[in-house]
Amino acid sequence: MDNDPALLPERLRSMPSRLLAQAGGYAQRTSADALAAFGLRQHHYALLAALAEFGPASQSALSDRTGVYRSDLVGALNELGERGLVSRSPDPGDRRRNVVSISAAGRQQLRRLDTALRQAQERLLAPLAAADRQRLLELLGRLLAGREH
């Protein structure tokens, strides 16, 4: 579909769900492009961020904390491990389980990713004044906090 809003019926142009979906798609692409410059995807970033913030964790706990499906988690951890960004070791309490840790190289890469994502967020929100940005974040937070489960 052409991106020219003038070609759409008014009822579509003013539909909140459509506007949020379009903004969300643009936001997702903006972040994905920033991560792709490093050869990584959103789930890689989520795993590194969780490990940096909360410390070593089991694969199961990482899946629960990040929302990365367990079926995708092992592959993502393998990719991060191949780059030396994480390590896995047997859990001393249950040798059938692995504990995943972020490496020094992973922390360094995470800082670079944070910078790239901050810049991407700046580009995303560039049309808005600082007060409008803050208000948008507040409103989105309220909208998501009030959703039905």
- Please state, in angstroms and rounded to a whole number, the distance separating the CA atoms of residues 90 and 67: 23
Q: Where are the domains of the chain?
A: 30-122
pTM of the model: 0.86
Those residues of the chain that have pLDDT short of 50 are 1-2
pLDDT of residue 45: 97
pLDDT of residue 95: 79
The two most distant CA atoms of the chain are separated, in Å, by 62
- Please state, in angstroms and rounded to a whole number, the distance separating the CA atoms of residues 30 and 48: 19
CATH of domain 30-122: 1.10.10.10
pLDDT of residue 8: 82
